[in-house]
Structure formats: structure tokens, C-alpha cells
Chain A
Amino acid sequence: MKFLMAIVLMLVFFGVKPMYADLDIKELTTKNGIKFWLVEERSLPFISLEMRFRGGTSMDDYESRGAINFMTSLLEEGSGSLNAMSFSQERDRIAASFEFDVGRDDLSVSAKFLSETRPKATELLRNALTKPRFDMEATERVRKQIISVIESDKKNPRKIAQSELLKLTFLDHLYSSSELGDKKTINSLKRDDLIRAHKISLNSDRVSIAIVGDIGEQEAIQMLEELLRDVPKSTKALPGRAASKFNLGMKVIDYPSPQSVVFFTLQGIKRTDPNFFDAFVMNHILGGAGFNSRLMKEIREKRGLTYSVSTSLTQYDNAELYLGMFQSSNEKVSIAIDILKKELLNMAENGVSDEELLGAKKFLIGAYPLRFDGNVRIAKILASMQFMGLSKDYIKSRNDKIRAIKSSDIALVAKKLLSFEDFTIVVVGKPEGL
């Protein structure tokens, strides 16, 4: 293959073009002391704004769980002088997009609007963030939608499996229950509960912000001052570490389907752990994205037992999981689980080969710059980095951390994470032979 040689040579001579090294991130501060990152990108006439408020649904009180998600759903249902209908009409009239999403540990706001509409978009978004109305009409309408989703989740085999896994792992901590709450708590929530949920979820001292697009430094500072002027400081403490239990063996839940859903977890690893990157690379080799992980090869490619299998290191603010999932026909799922167990133990005992490690490093190093593509994507990454406490220099040093990993590092972390034959597995379906 002659031409392949030519390409390799070309790279040796010219090197790979710099990609994100020239991403010019400015660290700025508003008058009221709110820090944010800005990337000026003038080629398209729109602005992407990403905000992540620390807290999320784990700020709920157990007896009123679901309140924060409910409140978040109502942020676009009327604010200031506009009811739900007028708000959505005003937003659409300028073709702005505001997404409010709440997770276990954060409430995120993703906004996108044309440069010319900035003043109007800022005003609408400010009202949504600081003056939600929680009108009776909208509240009752959305309450019915949330209950409908809660009921649907109870019939969804993936949701059943996921929910059971979290219940087993976190006992009575909030992480063990649905972020949506349950039918009873949702029905009991009153306007005051929503107002309180709002007050504890959106705080100016707990926000990470990135702006990418057609806007300069001064304009960006002004926009954020305007936007966050009336956002209060936090009053409620963030929750502490979650107690968790691992290695509880297998639990089967009967469900009418030709296929069984399998969710499993082991204890994960903190993002700040000195061995985090070792675990990150190990996960890529074992069950990370793509067709070429060990689990994909063994369970799908060689034997056709599943369509897709994956694992992921999941970090909540107060707990760490090493999660995985796949689906397999009822009559084949027990073989697939045997292979899964074998592969996990094999990794724990033998680690990875140098060749596998090299392949994984190439992918992870090469894929990192490819993430920085598009204003919206870049804004999300930059807000997440701040949320995780990373500095902007991390972008330059991140690949060096991957490069430095040795197969012996992975062997150590694999032994620590995966040496458990009785890791927790939930199977939902009508599995044979389990």
C-alpha cells in the first residue's frame, strides 16, 4: 500500500496542523465578581452561552423530591410580565433557543441567539432565570406531563434496570431515587415548594459560564451583569458524600420482552484521584466508545450476542460509579453475562497489552482536539471544564497525561476497580438460565 507510506512521510515532514492550541480563551470577571470564559468567534452572527449551576436535583429534600426538576421545567413557562404563551412567542419571534436541564449535581442553561437580538434575548433569559411566575395554569399542565413521564418510566425496561441499580447502590440517599420524584411527591408540591426550589438551585456563587460567538469582552461582561444581576447568592449548603454499597451480586426483575436489559456497576473513581487517567484509559480499552473495545469484540463482533455494550466511569459530585449496560436475547443473556464477568476479571488480573495501550492512547489523544468543533460544542466543553475545577491550561496538558500512562499503571488500577466477581448486576426481562 504505497500511498499509505506517502501519507506517513508527509506527517513526519509537516507535522499535524495545530488545532485547538489557538483557541483563544479569555478569563473575565464581571463587576459583581462572577468569573467566566469567553471565546470570540466572529464568523457566524450568533452567540452561544452555557451556564452550569452547581446543585441539581440532589439539593431536593427527600420528602419533596422532584421539586427541582419540576421547577426547572417551569422556567420557560412564563416569567416577569409574560405568561407561558407570551414568553414562548417572544422567544420564537427572535428565534432564540433556551434549554434548561437539570442533572443530579447541576442545573444547566444553554442559550443560543442571533447577535442582533442580544438585548431582547438577554432580557427574556434574565426573566426566566430570576422571575419565573409559576402560574397555576402552567404548573398544573406541567405537573400532568411529569407524572406521565414517571408512569412511562415504570414500564421502560432500561429505566427499570437503571433505577433498581441506583436503589441497590445508594439505599436511601437521593441518588437512589428518580430525579423526577415520584407521583406522590409531585402531586403534593405547592407553589411555595417551587419558589424555594428555585432559590436554592440558581445561585451566582455556584455558576460556571462560557460564552462563544459573535461578541467582544466588554459586551460579554455587560450581558452577564445584566443577566445575573438579580440572581441570589447561595443559602443552602451543598449535600455531603453519599453512602453507597457495591458488589451485591445479581438481581433479576421479570419483564415481558424477547430481550433482557442488563445494567451493572462497580465502584468508580474520583476525577481528582491521581489514578483517574489510568482508569479512564483502561475503560476505553474495556468498554469505551466505538467498535473496538474488548467487550464489543467478545460479546458482539465474535458472537453476535448483543447490538451494543458499553461501560463508563461516572462521577457524581458525591459518589463514583463504574457503570455498564447491554441488551441480549433472553436465551443468550446468560452466556453474555458469563463473558462479561470473564472479561472484567481478565482485565483485573492481566491488565492490558502494550499494543492495546498504544492504540487507546492514539485514539484518546487524537480525538480530544476533534471535540472542539462548533460554537455550541465549545461553549459546553468550556463550561464543563470550569464546573470540574479545571484551568484553561488543562486543554494543553491533557494529552500529556494520557501519553505518560504505562501498562503497569493500568494493571494496578484495573486490579483495584475490577477484582469483584459479585459486582452488582440488574437484569430486566425473561432471562433463561440465570
Chain B
Amino acid sequence: MLKFSFFTTFFLLSFLLYSEARSEISSFFLNNGMEVVVIEDHRAPIVTHMVWYKTGAADENLGKSGVAHLLEHLLFKETKNVKTGEFSKKVESLGGSDNAFTSQDYTGYYQRVSSDYLELVMYYEADRMKNLVISEKDFKTELDVVIEERNQRTDSNPSALFNEQNMASLYLNHPYGIPIVGWRHELDNLTRKDVINFYNHYYAPNNAILIVAGDVEPEKVKLLAEKFYGKIGRNNNLTDRIRPSEPPQIVQRRLIFADERVAQSYLVRTYIAEERDTGKQRAAAAFTLLADLLGSGGIQSILGKELQLNSKKAIYTNAYYNGRSFDDTHFSLIVVPSDEVSLKEIEIELDRVIDDLLLNGIDEKHLNRIKFQYKAQQIYALDSAFSQARRFGAALTSGLKVEDVLAWPSELQEIDSVDILKAAKLLFKKEKSVTGWIRRPAKVEN
């Protein structure tokens, strides 16, 4: 068993004020290839138990969008040993909570219960890794539920609809361009067999990560994990995750989305950007800090200062980048113009701010404040074992290793303004971007 001791130290201002906080992270593999991570937090006798599959929507077969997420719903139905809903009911009877989530790269299931019940939830979670039964009736009903979910989250929301089109335009070939919940017309044609095939192939211990966080001892977790997960056979047919990749992107794309439900016009510019890779996180660290410089902290940020505070041409600005992704991810800039400012004008302003940044460089004091906040975040993050577990799960299912997660905070600290500027120059290439205008139809009075 590998044991990492994760020490975070920080210095404040120029004084030698010193403090240290630690969280014990242990990590090991079972014989069948299942990875296990234990995060200890003994402040309260509570445990979060999570199983993450290294499979998400981007691993679906062409034409079968929505399968990964529909399967996630169906895991709450029956197995050979357990009746429909029994697991959730059991967790509820313990006062616990449970849920699941699906992304492009992973599918995760969790329970949060008193630490006395770790063994119990492990029994059920291990059971549904292998023994799921999908009846035709459950399949049909749950497909209806998923369509309602799509109606609620996407089809009723113009921003979400635009986002779907935006990703489809940004990725010319990679499946990140297909929505996680599935295209509506493909959902309508999914079959029970599609879901079963997906389950049989991907739900196996050598494709899963167990994360246990809270008031637990790694030795005890190891014994239990061997008992429940260790006896499940591997799937030797699983291959490396190689998805269709992007061709060179050589044309700038523009989208204009008009919907009468839009109240406030806005602009989104999205660029393809490198993600965090194991042993190679520097570019992603630079993009992370670049996004903060551009968009975090309201009027302190570059976009906020230029467009909200100085020129008053925008009422809201932001920048977004998340490096936890298996394949190339994206970097987004969002600007909501003031009433009297057109989308065309705000786009010119946005380009001007980017050009100025590339030309004039970065305010070192601003960068230092952002880096110090990341140091403090290492302390604040220890207040929630659940969030720590999620962070590890998302990273490990995106091709990263525990060492990468532990190294990430210091990688961020090592990035300087020269690195960030270099990253920005690589990133801000219009031919690798989509510019979207979201507005009301022209004929409707604003």
C-alpha cells in the first residue's frame, strides 16, 4: 500500500507566519485491477463511499448517445440479488444520502452514511457492478424519465441548448461534441440491448475506482474492498480509451442562436485547449491561472476591469477552464453587454482586451493574489471530505494519477507570468474557436 502524506504549507505576506494542514491519502490496487483511494478525515464519524467508472458519454458508440447516462439511472433498479430501489431505501433507512452522475469521461455513484455502515453500502455497490438486471419495463420508464430530464435541463433552457450546439461546433470529430444526456432523436431509438451491452463491457473492476473518504482506516477499507470488489472478475476485453481525435482546426466558426426565451443577449467565445495529462500538467496549470486572471473576482479580473469597470460596455464577464478531462478540453470567455452595446461591438471589445493582454503582459500583484488563494484553498478544501473525494474521482477518471492530483497545487505555484503569456499565445487562435451570439429573434422587441 502506497501512502502519500500530503502536507500543505503556506507563507503569508512577507512575514514568517506558518501553518500546516494535512490530509492522509492512501492508494492501492486490488488484484483484479480496481484502484482504491482512501482519504482520511476523522473529525466526524461519517464516510463517503464512491465508485467511479472510467467510462462516460464520450465512450458511447456512434448513434447511441445517452446510453451512459441512461445506464446510470438504471443502476438504481434491480439486480439478481436486490429488488428495485432496495439499495436506495437501505441507504435512506440509515439516514444516508446517495446519488450518481455522468460526464463525458466518467460515471460515478456515491453514498454518504455513518462510518459504521461502510460495509453495507460496499456490498450493494459491488453487487450492482456485476449483477444488474434490466427489465423491458424499467428500461422504458427510465428512458421517459431521462427524456423529461433532457426537457427540463436542456430543451427548456436556451443557454443549455446553445451550449449543446457550441460543443457540436467546437469538436469537429471528437465525441465531446455529442451531449451527455443524448440527442433527443437518438434517445428515442435506444434499445434495452444497447444499454446491456454497454454495461457488460464497461462495468468491471479493472475499469473502476473506489474512493472512500471520511472517518475510516485504510487497512480496514482494504480488507472490505478485497472482500466485496476483489472477488469480481476483470473484463479482459477492455482496451485503452482511444477516441476519434480532432483534425487540425483551420476555420473560425460563428454561431448565432436566436430564441424568444432569451432575456439578455450575450457572447461566448470557446477555444480548444489542452487538458491535464499525467506527468504533464504545466500547460493546464497556466490555462487555469489565465482563466482566473481574465474572469474571476469580478472587477478585479482583466475582463471585469476593462469591460465592466472602465468602458462600462459589459454588465457581466467570466472565463472558464477545467483541465480535468481525458482528451482536449476547452477554454471559454463569456461577456454580457450593457443594454446599449451590440454583440458586434462587444466582440470587438473582447478581442481588444485579449490583444492588449498578449501585448502588455500580466500584472504580477494580481497573479500573486490568485496564487495565494489557491494556497488557502488547499486548507479550505479539507473541510469537506465529500468534495475531496469528488476531486480525486474526477481526476483519476480523466487519465491522471494520485501523484498528479497531489502535485497540482505546487504546479500551479510554479507557473509564472511568462508561462501564462506563452500559454495565452498558443490558446487564443481564432481558427481554433467558436464565437457564439445568443439573442432574441430580431423581429421581437427587446
A positions within 8 Å CB-CB of B: 1, 3-4, 7, 11, 16-17, 19-20, 41, 43-46, 48, 84-85, 88-89, 92-95, 97, 112, 114-117, 137, 141, 144-145, 148, 151-157, 256-259, 261, 290-292, 300-308, 327-329, 359, 362-370, 372-376
The answer to whether A93 touches B113 (Cβ under 8 A) is no
The answer to whether A259 touches B119 (Cβ under 8 A) is no
Which residues of A lie under 8 Å from residue B384 when comparing CB positions? Answer: 373-374, 376
Instruction: Give the complex CA separation of A4 and B117 in angstroms.
Output: 10
Which residues of B lie under 8 Å from residue A144 when comparing CB positions? Answer: 315, 338-339
Residue from A44, A114, A117, A148 in contact with B316 in the complex, judged by beta carbons closer than 8 Å: A148
Which residues of B lie under 8 Å from residue A88 when comparing CB positions? Answer: 297-300
Which residues of A lie under 8 Å from residue B256 when comparing CB positions? Answer: none
The answer to whether A301 touches B308 (Cβ under 8 A) is no
Instruction: Give the complex CA separation of A271 and B14 in angstroms.
Output: 51
The answer to whether B85 touches A44 (Cβ under 8 A) is no
Residue from A46, A303, A362 in contact with B379 in the complex, judged by beta carbons closer than 8 Å: A46
The answer to whether A366 touches B95 (Cβ under 8 A) is yes
Q: Beyond A145-B316, A257-B155, A300-B145, is A115–B19 a contact (Cβ under 8 Å)?
A: yes
Q: Which residue of A lies closest to B81 (CB)?
A: A1
Which residues of A lie under 8 Å from residue B46 when comparing CB positions? Answer: 19, 370, 373
The answer to whether A95 touches B376 (Cβ under 8 A) is yes
Shortest distance between the CB of B1 and any CB in chain A (Å): 24
The answer to whether B95 touches A4 (Cβ under 8 A) is no
Counting chain B residues whose Cβ lies within 8 A of the other chain, the interface size class is: 35 or more
Which residues of A lie under 8 Å from residue B120 when comparing CB positions? Answer: 4, 7
Instruction: Give the complex CA separation of A307 and B85 in angstroms.
Output: 16
Residue from A4, A85, A151, A307 in contact with B149 in the complex, judged by beta carbons closer than 8 Å: A307
With A43-B43, A141-B309 already in contact, 9 other A-B pairs whose C-beta atoms are closer than 8 Å: A3-B123, A16-B114, A112-B380, A153-B263, A257-B155, A290-B97, A300-B145, A304-B147, A329-B151
Q: Beyond A46-B380, A152-B264, is A366–B141 a contact (Cβ under 8 Å)?
A: no
Instruction: Give the complex CA separation of A362 and B92 in angstroms.
Output: 8
Instruction: Give the complex CA separation of A75 and B431 in angstroms.
Output: 42
Asked if B54 is an interface residue, CB under 8 A from chain A, the answer is no
Which residues of A lie under 8 Å from residue B156 when comparing CB positions? Answer: 157, 257-259, 261, 327
Near A by CB (< 8 A), chain B positions 156-183 give 156
The answer to whether A152 touches B263 (Cβ under 8 A) is yes
Near A by CB (< 8 A), chain B positions 295-338 give 297-300, 305, 308-309, 312, 315-316, 336, 338
Asked if B414 is an interface residue, CB under 8 A from chain A, the answer is no
Main secondary structure of the interface of B (DSSP, over half): helix
The answer to whether B144 touches A304 (Cβ under 8 A) is yes
Asked if B3 is an interface residue, CB under 8 A from chain A, the answer is no
Interface string of B325-355 (1 = CB under 8 A from A): 0000000000010110000000000000000
Closest 10 CB pairs of A and B: A366-B95, A304-B144, A95-B376, A367-B95, A155-B263, A307-B149, A259-B151, A152-B263, A304-B141, A45-B19
Asked if B94 is an interface residue, CB under 8 A from chain A, the answer is yes
| Stretch of B245-253, B276-284, B367-375 with 4 or more beta carbons under 8 angstroms from chain A | B367-375
The answer to whether B114 touches A44 (Cβ under 8 A) is no
The answer to whether B93 touches A291 (Cβ under 8 A) is no
Residue from B20, B92, B309, B376 in contact with A290 in the complex, judged by beta carbons closer than 8 Å: B92
Which residues of B lie under 8 Å from residue A145 when comparing CB positions? Answer: 315-316
The answer to whether A114 touches B12 (Cβ under 8 A) is yes
Shortest distance between the CB of A25 and any CB in chain B (Å): 15
Q: Which residue of B lies closest to A359 (CB)?
A: B93
Instruction: Give the complex CA separation of A153 and B261 in angstroms.
Output: 11
Asked if B204 is an interface residue, CB under 8 A from chain A, the answer is no
Residue from B12, B43, B263 in contact with A41 in the complex, judged by beta carbons closer than 8 Å: B43
Q: Beyond A95-B372, A95-B376, A151-B263, is A259–B148 a contact (Cβ under 8 Å)?
A: yes
The answer to whether A92 touches B152 (Cβ under 8 A) is no
Which residues of B lie under 8 Å from residue A373 when comparing CB positions? Answer: 43-44, 46, 384-385
Near A by CB (< 8 A), chain B positions 1-30 give 12, 17, 19-21
Shortest distance between the CB of A384 and any CB in chain B (Å): 18
Shortest distance between the CB of A139 and any CB in chain B (Å): 13
Which residues of A lie under 8 Å from residue B95 when comparing CB positions? Answer: 362-370
Asked if B88 is an interface residue, CB under 8 A from chain A, the answer is yes
Instruction: Give the complex CA separation of A148 and B117 in angstroms.
Output: 48
Instruction: Give the complex CA separation of A317 and B375 in angstroms.
Output: 41
Instruction: Give the complex CA separation of A284 and B383 in angstroms.
Output: 29
Shortest distance between the CB of A159 and any CB in chain B (Å): 10
Shortest distance between the CB of A433 and any CB in chain B (Å): 17
Instruction: Give the complex CA separation of A385 and B88 in angstroms.
Output: 29
The answer to whether A366 touches B94 (Cβ under 8 A) is yes
Q: Which residue of B lies closest to A10 (CB)?
A: B116
The answer to whether A19 touches B44 (Cβ under 8 A) is yes
Which residues of B lie under 8 Å from residue A366 when comparing CB positions? Answer: 93-96, 114
Residue from A93, A305, A362 in contact with B94 in the complex, judged by beta carbons closer than 8 Å: A362
The answer to whether A7 touches B12 (Cβ under 8 A) is no
Instruction: Give the complex CA separation of A77 and B92 in angstroms.
Output: 44
Q: Beyond A307-B152, A363-B95, A366-B94, is A19–B45 a contact (Cβ under 8 Å)?
A: yes
The answer to whether A11 touches B116 (Cβ under 8 A) is yes
The answer to whether B155 touches A259 (Cβ under 8 A) is yes
Q: Which residue of B lies closest to A14 (CB)?
A: B116
The answer to whether B380 touches A363 (Cβ under 8 A) is no
Instruction: Give the complex CA separation of A145 and B264 in angstroms.
Output: 11
Q: Which residue of A lies closest to B150 (CB)?
A: A307
Instruction: Give the complex CA separation of A301 and B89 in angstroms.
Output: 13
The answer to whether A359 touches B92 (Cβ under 8 A) is yes
Q: Which residue of B lies closest to A90 (CB)?
A: B369
The answer to whether B312 touches A4 (Cβ under 8 A) is no
Among A46, A115, A308, A364, chain B packs the most CB atoms within 10 A around the CB of A46
Q: Which residue of B lies closest to A157 (CB)?
A: B156
Among B76, B95, B142, B262, chain A packs the most CB atoms within 10 A around the CB of B95
Interface string of B373-391 (1 = CB under 8 A from A): 1011101101111000000
Instruction: Give the complex CA separation of A7 and B142 in angstroms.
Output: 33
Asked if B143 is an interface residue, CB under 8 A from chain A, the answer is yes
Which residues of B lie under 8 Å from residue A84 when comparing CB positions? Answer: 299, 309
Shortest distance between the CB of B20 and any CB in chain A (Å): 8
Q: Which residue of A lies closest to B93 (CB)?
A: A362
Q: Beyond A116-B19, A157-B156, A305-B144, is A257–B93 a contact (Cβ under 8 Å)?
A: no
Which residues of A lie under 8 Å from residue B369 when comparing CB positions? Answer: 89, 92-93
Residue from B297, B312, B316 in contact with A92 in the complex, judged by beta carbons closer than 8 Å: B297
Instruction: Give the complex CA separation of A89 and B46 in angstroms.
Output: 37
Q: Beyond A95-B377, A257-B261, A367-B97, is A304–B145 a contact (Cβ under 8 Å)?
A: yes
The answer to whether A370 touches B151 (Cβ under 8 A) is no
Instruction: Give the complex CA separation of A151 and B336 in angstroms.
Output: 13
Among B123, B316, B380, chain A packs the most CB atoms within 10 A around the CB of B380
Which residues of B lie under 8 Å from residue A300 when comparing CB positions? Answer: 145
The answer to whether B112 touches A370 (Cβ under 8 A) is yes
Which residues of A lie under 8 Å from residue B241 when comparing CB positions? Answer: none
Asked if B260 is an interface residue, CB under 8 A from chain A, the answer is yes
Which residues of A lie under 8 Å from residue B20 when comparing CB positions? Answer: 45
Asked if B115 is an interface residue, CB under 8 A from chain A, the answer is yes
Asked if B231 is an interface residue, CB under 8 A from chain A, the answer is no
Asked if B140 is an interface residue, CB under 8 A from chain A, the answer is yes
Shortest distance between the CB of A158 and any CB in chain B (Å): 9
Which residues of A lie under 8 Å from residue B112 when comparing CB positions? Answer: 370
Instruction: Give the complex CA separation of A376 and B147 in angstroms.
Output: 37
Q: Beyond A85-B309, A366-B96, is A44–B299 a contact (Cβ under 8 Å)?
A: no
Which residues of B lie under 8 Å from residue A327 when comparing CB positions? Answer: 148, 151-152, 156
Which residues of B lie under 8 Å from residue A3 when comparing CB positions? Answer: 119, 123
What are 21 A-B residue pairs whose CB atoms fall within 8 Å in the complex? A7-B119, A7-B120, A48-B383, A85-B299, A85-B309, A92-B373, A148-B263, A148-B264, A148-B336, A154-B263, A156-B263, A292-B88, A303-B144, A304-B141, A304-B142, A304-B145, A327-B148, A329-B151, A368-B95, A370-B95, A376-B384
